[in-house]
Structure 1
C-alpha cells in the first residue's frame, strides 16, 4: 500500500481524487474515460448522417432560407413593379416615333410647291405614294398618309422589324421565364378584367382624329392590345401655314413589350442564379448554426431526461465549441461552465452531507454511551455527571443543526437578496457598541479604530454584519482576561480592508488555511463542543459572494523571524469599492 493510499480521508473528495491520481489502478470521476453510451453513439451517428443540414428537422435552417429568399423576392418584385426600364423605353420609343413622323412630314412639305394648290388625293403638287416608297423607313413601323377628309392616300411599312434588331443585338430573343409569368398573369387578369383588342386590330385614324391633329398639331396615343402596347403618332403636313394632310406612324404590335421582356428575362435569370446561390449559402450558414446548436441541445437533453441514467450512465458532456468566436462559442462555454458548476455543487453537497453525518455521529455516540451508562450507574454524583454530558451533547446537536440549516440556506439567500450601498463604518460602529460590552464582561480590552470619513460598499449589510460578528466573537472567545481586541478599517485603492486583531494564543501554522473549512475547529480543551466549526466557513462564503477576500495570519514580533511565538491572530477582510 502506498503512502497516498494510507492517508486517504474518505470524508474529503479531494483527498480521494489525489489518491486516485497517485494509484494507477484506482480511477475515479473525471479521470475515468468511459465507453460511449448508446445516446452518445446515436448523436455521433446523426452527426455523420446530417452532413450540411436537415431542413425537415431544423426550424432554424428553414427560417434562414425563407427570410433570405423573401428578401430577394421582395427586391426583384419591387424592381419589376417599379419597372423604370419600361418607362424609359416607352419615352424613348415615343420620342423616336414623333421624330420620324415629323421627318416624313418635312420631306413631304419639301416636295410641295410653295404657292400652287396641293391635293394629296389627286396627286396635284406631290406624288405622295411615290415619295413614301422612296423613303428608307425604319423596321417595325407602319406609315399612313391621310387627306384632310380622312381618306388614306398612301401606306408603307418598314422592312426588317424585330428579326433585324435581334440580329444586330446578337440576341436570340428567347424569354422563357418572362413568357411563362406573362401567361400566368394574363390568365389571372382575364378572370377579373375585360378582354383586350387583338394585336391586328385596326389602327386607322378617324375623321375626328385627323381634324384634331390638323387643328392642334402632333398627337401621341398608346393602345393596349392582347400582344402589348402600341404607339400611334400623328403630325400634320403643312404648306405654309395651312395643313394639307396628316402623317400617322404606328409601332409594331408588342415591340415595346418585347424589349421590356428581354430586360425582365435578364433580371429573372439573374434572380434564379442568385436564388440558387442564396439557398446554398443559407444551407452552409444554417449548418454552422443549426448543427452545433443541435449537438448542444442533444447533450443538454441527455441531462434532464427522466431516464437519463439509462441513456447516459456517465457525466453529461457538453461539446466544446469555445474555439468559435461567436455566440455559439459563448453558449458552449456557458453551458460547460454551468454543468461543471452543477457537478461541483453536487460534489459539494455530497461532501457536506458526509461531513454533517460525521459531525452528528460524534455527539450521538456520546449520547448513546451516556444513556447506556446512566442505566447501570448507582451513585448520584456519577448520574449527575452523565446528565451533564447528555445536556452538553444535546446543546451541541441543537447548535450543530441550527448552523447546518443556516449554511444550507446561505447560497439561495445570497442570490435572492438585493444588494444595496451602505456605510460599513456605521455598521461596524453599531457592532462595536454591542460587542464591546461582551468583551469587557470577560475582562478583554476592546479597541475600535475607525476613520471619520464614511466608507460605502455595495452588498448585503446583514450578511456582512454576520461575518464581522463571527470574527469578533471568535476573537473574544480566544482571549483571556487582560488581552485586547482591536477592530480597524482603512481604504486601500479600490478595496476596503476591515481587520480584527487579538492578543490571544494565535493560530497554529498548519491551521491557517484549514480554519475556513467546514466543521474544522481549533479550540482549547475547555471549549470543546461549544462551536460547530461552521462560522468561519460561512464568513468566507459570504465575503467571496461579495467579490471580496478573507484570510488569517499570526501577529509576530518581527516579520523577519517567522519562528517566533505569535503575539496574537489577525483576520483581514477585503471588500471591493
Structure 2
C-alpha cells in the first residue's frame, strides 16, 4: 500500500451540463418581491389609521351621550322651576304663561339650547327663539360670486366626504321642526305629557344631529305641560372632524415614514441580496473566475453571514475545480508511465528475435498491465468518493467492534511474513463515532495493510484505541524502517509511493493514503503520520469526534 498524502480534493466527478442547465438567469426585476413584502408588512400603519377613524365613530357617540345626560339634568332643573313658579297654585291645571316665558328667558337664553313648552292639549305655547331678549346683529362678509374655492379647501372637503364613508354616522330618526308643531309630532313630548321623561337623538337634513329631551312640568305630581329642550351637536361634529384631520395628518406622516423606512430596508436588504445573486450567477456561468464575491464584511447580520458563506463556498468550488484539474493531470501522468513502458517493450520485441529477451519483455508488459489495472481501479474509487461521501447517511459506528472484526479476519486468514497484530478487544459501545461504516473500514484497512507491508518478518503491528471527552483516537504503529525524513506530509499525496524493494511492482497505485485522508477529513477528523520515538517504525494517528448518541468513556 502506498503512503500518499491527499487533500479533500477527490474524484473526477465533473459532468458537462446541457445547454438548458446553464442557461443564464437575469435578475432585472423592476420591483423587488421582497420590497413588496416589506411594504405590505409596513402597511399596517394604514390599518391603524382605519382603526383610529372607526374609534372616532364611537367617540362621536360617546360625546352625544354625555351631552344628552347633561341636557336631561338641565331639563329637570328648568321643569322644576316652571312647576313651582309658573303655576297659579296647588290647584292649577296649566302653566301660567307670562312667568314661564320669563323663566325660559332667564335660564335658556344665555345658552345655545332651544326650549319649547307644550300645554296639556298638545299645542306649543312657548318657544325660546320667539321670546324677546338680548338681540345682536352679526355681519359676516359674503364670498364673491366669481371667486374660486382654494385647492386646499376643496381637497379638505373631498377628504371629509371620504371620511364620512369610512366612519358612517349612527342611524337616528329625522329631526322635525315646522310651524304649528304639536306634541303628537314628537314621541318624546307625548311621553313627557304622560309623565315619563324621554330623550331622543334626531338627525337633521344636513346630516348633523340634534338632541331632544322632553321633561314633564308637574305641580304636586299633576302634569301641567311638557318642556322640550333641544341642543345641536355642531360643536361635537367640529371636534370629531378636527380629530379626524389630526389622525389623517399623523397617519400621512406615518405613511411617509413607512415609505422611507421601506426604502432604507430595501437598500439594506434587497440591494446586497441582488449583488450576491448576480455574483453567484457569474460564478455559475463559468465565465472567467469570479474571485471577488462581495463579503459585506462590515455587516454583523445575516446578510454578512450569507455573503461570507457564499465567498467561502466559491473558494471551495474553485479549489475543487483546481483539485479535479490536478487530479486529471496526475492520472494522465501515472497512466502514461506504464503505457510508455509497454510501448517501449513492444517496439523492442519487434527488433529482436531472441526468445529469452521476448520472455523478459512479456514479463514487463504483464507487470505494466497489472499496474494499469490497479491504477484504474483506485482512480475509479477515488473519483466516486466525493459523491459517495456527499450522499451517504451518517450513522453511529462502533470503531472498537469494527477493528476487532477486521483484525480477527487478518488472524484467521494469516498475515504475510508471520507479522502479528496486537489489539485488545474493547468493550462494546465504548468507541462510537458518526460516519459511513464502509468508508471508515476502508481507512483502517489501508493503514493496517500499509503497516503490515513495511513490517519485518515476524514483526508486530500494534493497534490502540483511546478516548477523551469528545474525541476518539486510533494509534497504528509498525516495526519497519519508519518514514523518510520530511515525508510526514508527502506520504498523503496522490500517487506518492515509496515501497519496500522486495514488494511486487505495480501492486500499489499510490492513492490509498490520499483516499484515507479524504475520508477522515470528510468525517471532521484528522489523520497524521510520524516516526515512533521508542523504537524504529511508523506511527499513524487517526482522530475523530465521538458520537453524541452513544458510547461511554473508558
Q: TM-score, normalised by structure 1?
A: 0.79
Partner of 1:267: 247
Matches within 5 A, 1:7-156: 56-69=30-43, 71-83=44-56, 84-113=58-87, 114-117=89-92, 119-120=94-95, 123=97, 127-137=99-109, 139-156=111-128
Partner of 2:536: 567
Partner of 2:550: none
Shift of 1:61: 2.3
Partner of 1:496: 472
CA distance in 1 between counterparts of 2:78 and 2:252 reads 45
Q: Would you say 1:462 and 2:438 are equivalent positions?
A: yes
Shift of 1:259: 2.6
Shift of 1:524: 2.4
Shift of 1:342: 0.6
Relative contact order: is structure 1 or structure 2 higher (C-alpha 8 Å, sep ≥ 6)?
A: 2
Shift of 1:374: 1.6
| Aligned residues of 2:477 and 2:540 also touching (Cα < 8 A) | yes
Partner of 1:303: 283
Partner of 1:348: 323
| Aligned residues of 1:140 and 1:159 also touching (Cα < 8 A) | no
The structure-2 alpha-carbon separation of the partners of 1:254 and 1:203, relative to structure 1 and needing over 3 Å to count, comes to farther
CA distance in 2 between counterparts of 1:130 and 1:343 reads 104
| Aligned residues of 1:554 and 1:570 also touching (Cα < 8 A) | yes
Partner of 1:213: 192
Q: Would you say 1:538 and 2:510 are equivalent positions?
A: no
Shift of 1:443: 1.4
**Partner of 1:270: helix, strand, or coil?**
helix
Partner of 2:225: 245
CA distance in 1 between counterparts of 2:35 and 2:180 reads 56
Partner of 2:15: none
What is the CA deviation profile of residues 29-71 of structure 1, one whole-angstrom value per residue up to 9, with x for unaligned ones? xxxxxxxxxxxxxx9xx9xxxxxxxx943332233123212x1
Shift of 1:407: 0.7
Partner of 1:402: 377
| Aligned residues of 1:550 and 1:573 also touching (Cα < 8 A) | yes
Partner of 1:474: 450
**Partner of 1:57: helix, strand, or coil?**
coil
Q: Would you say 1:436 and 2:408 are equivalent positions?
A: no
Q: Would you say 1:446 and 2:415 are equivalent positions?
A: no
Partner of 1:555: 532
| Aligned residues of 1:178 and 1:264 also touching (Cα < 8 A) | no
The structure-2 alpha-carbon separation of the partners of 1:569 and 1:350, relative to structure 1 and needing over 3 Å to count, comes to same
CA distance in 2 between counterparts of 1:229 and 1:356 reads 96
CA distance in 2 between counterparts of 1:74 and 1:297 reads 34
Partner of 2:145: none
What is the CA deviation profile of residues 310-329 of structure 1, one whole-angstrom value per residue up to 9, with x for unaligned ones? xxx44252112132121111
**Partner of 1:132: helix, strand, or coil?**
helix
Specify every segment of 5 or more residues in structure 2 that has no aligned partner in the other structure, as ranges. Answer: 1-5, 8-26, 139-151, 547-554
The structure-2 alpha-carbon separation of the partners of 1:140 and 1:385, relative to structure 1 and needing over 3 Å to count, comes to farther
Matches within 5 A, 1:408-419: 408-419=383-394
The structure-2 alpha-carbon separation of the partners of 1:253 and 1:368, relative to structure 1 and needing over 3 Å to count, comes to same
**Partner of 2:260: helix, strand, or coil?**
helix
CA distance in 1 between counterparts of 2:171 and 2:54 reads 22
Specify every segment of 5 or more residues in structure 1 that has no aligned partner in the other structure, as ranges. Answer: 1-11, 14-42, 47-54, 164-173, 558-565
Q: Would you say 1:284 and 2:264 are equivalent positions?
A: yes
| Farther off after superposition, 423-432 or 128-137 | 128-137
| Aligned residues of 1:227 and 1:254 also touching (Cα < 8 A) | no
The structure-2 alpha-carbon separation of the partners of 1:499 and 1:153, relative to structure 1 and needing over 3 Å to count, comes to same
What is the CA deviation profile of residues 405-438 of structure 1, one whole-angstrom value per residue up to 9, with x for unaligned ones? 1111111111111111132111111100112345
Q: TM-score, normalised by structure 2?
A: 0.82
What is the CA deviation profile of residues 372-399 of structure 1, one whole-angstrom value per residue up to 9, with x for unaligned ones? 1121221111111111111111111111
The structure-2 alpha-carbon separation of the partners of 1:199 and 1:373, relative to structure 1 and needing over 3 Å to count, comes to farther
Shift of 1:479: 2.0
Judging by fraction of residues, say which structure has more helix: 1
| Aligned residues of 2:394 and 2:436 also touching (Cα < 8 A) | yes
| Aligned residues of 2:188 and 2:198 also touching (Cα < 8 A) | no
| Aligned residues of 1:451 and 1:490 also touching (Cα < 8 A) | no
Partner of 1:329: 304
The structure-2 alpha-carbon separation of the partners of 1:544 and 1:97, relative to structure 1 and needing over 3 Å to count, comes to same
CA distance in 1 between counterparts of 2:173 and 2:200 reads 16
CA distance in 2 between counterparts of 1:468 and 1:365 reads 34
What is the CA deviation profile of residues 139-197 of structure 1, one whole-angstrom value per residue up to 9, with x for unaligned ones? 4432111111111111125999xx9xxxxxxxxxx99877434424668999xx99996
| Aligned residues of 1:196 and 1:224 also touching (Cα < 8 A) | yes
User: In structure 1, which of residues 320, 333, 338 is the aligned counterpart of residue 295 of structure 2?
Assistant: 320
Partner of 2:493: 517
The structure-2 alpha-carbon separation of the partners of 1:185 and 1:441, relative to structure 1 and needing over 3 Å to count, comes to closer
| Aligned residues of 1:106 and 1:237 also touching (Cα < 8 A) | yes
**Partner of 1:525: helix, strand, or coil?**
coil
CA distance in 2 between counterparts of 1:551 and 1:150 reads 115
